[in-house]
Amino acid sequence: MTTPRRAVLFDLDGTLIDTAPDFHACINRLRQQESLPPLDFDTVRSEVSNGGSAMIQLAFGLAKTDPGFQPLLQRLLDLYSHHIADHSRLFDRMEALLCWLEQRHWPWGIVTNKPERFARPLLRALNLDRRCSALICPEQVRHTKPDPEGLLLACARLRCQPAASVYVGDHPRDIEAGKNAGMMTATALFGYLPQNSDPGRWGADYAATSATALQAWLASIDPSQPLTGTEHV
């Protein structure tokens, strides 16, 4: 029996790339312009996966309906576009994991809620754009995560079966999307977990404390069998 072609898909912010340092710097630059004191890094880090709107709500205490909300959000996004990879890097040992996948001829891709106008320049800046076999952003789907549309689209582009593939993320919507797509799922415990969340309740097949642990889990899966069911190491 032919082994199903498999792939590993990643969420972007907080899973594949540590983008929090650049968001932290941009938020505090914006707060400084508004004569406000800086926020500590951990406070900002926990909101990065929720996007720019969540960070404006955090940094300025404004509701989305507030007249000042959209101008501040636009200023944040403009700042970020000019500082998109000042400090952002792959998470520790993630480069080794990507090389390992490439050596095994397992294509890897990204399914993210990050807009394409930020995602593509970020990947180019880190020399990942030619290595990433599929990048799915909100502009390419009708429904974003936790809907499985983006994950299924990525699998189709990679010609990989969802049941033979893995999705890795740091937010409950990532795990929900992966499960909805019929994929195996792994939680990136090293990522930007929401405050007061309990990843153990998300229902992922594996919880990775590091990229090295994630690689070990992937290596433990019998390559002659499709990735179905729940497996742990």
Domain co-membership, 48 together with 114: no
| DSSP per-residue codes, 32-100 | HHTT-PPPPHHHHHTTGGGHHHHHHHHHH---TTSTTHHHHHHHHHHHHHHSTTSS-EEPTTHHHHHHH
The pLDDT-based confidence of 224 (bands split at 50, 70, 90) is low
pLDDT of residue 3: 53
Domain co-membership, 99 together with 76: no
Indicate whether 198 pLDDT > 80. Answer: yes
Report how many domains make up the chain.
2
Q: Of 82, 103, 118, which residue sits at a domain end?
A: 82
Indicate whether 94 pLDDT > 60. Answer: yes
Domain co-membership, 31 together with 104: no
Q: What is the mean pLDDT of residues 197-216?
A: 96
Q: Is 198 a catalytic residue?
A: no
Tell me which of 40-49, 78-87, 131-140 is least confident. 40-49
Q: For the chain, give the mean pLDDT.
A: 92
Tell me which of 175-189, 198-212, 216-230 is least confident. 216-230
pLDDT of residue 59: 95
Indicate whether 52 pLDDT > 80. Answer: yes
pLDDT of residue 195: 83
pLDDT of residue 221: 81
Q: What is the mean pLDDT of residues 202-215?
A: 97
Token pair in block for residue 23: 């968001």
Q: Of 66, 82, 98, which residue sits at a domain end?
A: 82
Q: Which domain holds residue 176?
A: 8-18+89-220
Q: What is the mean pLDDT of residues 213-224?
A: 84
pLDDT of residue 204: 97
13, 18, 170, 174: the catalytic one is 13
Domain co-membership, 14 together with 25: no
Domain co-membership, 77 together with 176: no
Domain co-membership, 28 together with 13: no
Q: Within a domain: residue 3?
A: no
Q: What is the mean pLDDT of residues 18-32?
A: 97
Q: Under 8 Å CB-to-CB from 160, ≥6 apart: which residues?
A: 4, 5, 6, 7, 107
Q: Of 35, 64, 82, which residue sits at a domain end?
A: 82
pLDDT of residue 139: 97
Q: Within a domain: residue 233?
A: no
pTM of the model: 0.92
Per-residue pLDDT of 121-133, as tens digits, reads 999 999 999 999 9
11, 22, 170, 205: the catalytic one is 11
pLDDT of residue 223: 56
The b-or-e profile of 182-204 (16+ CB within 10 A means b, else e) is bbbbbbbbbbbbbeeeebeebeb
Tell me which of 3-17, 55-69, 159-173 is least confident. 3-17
Q: Is 222 a catalytic residue?
A: no
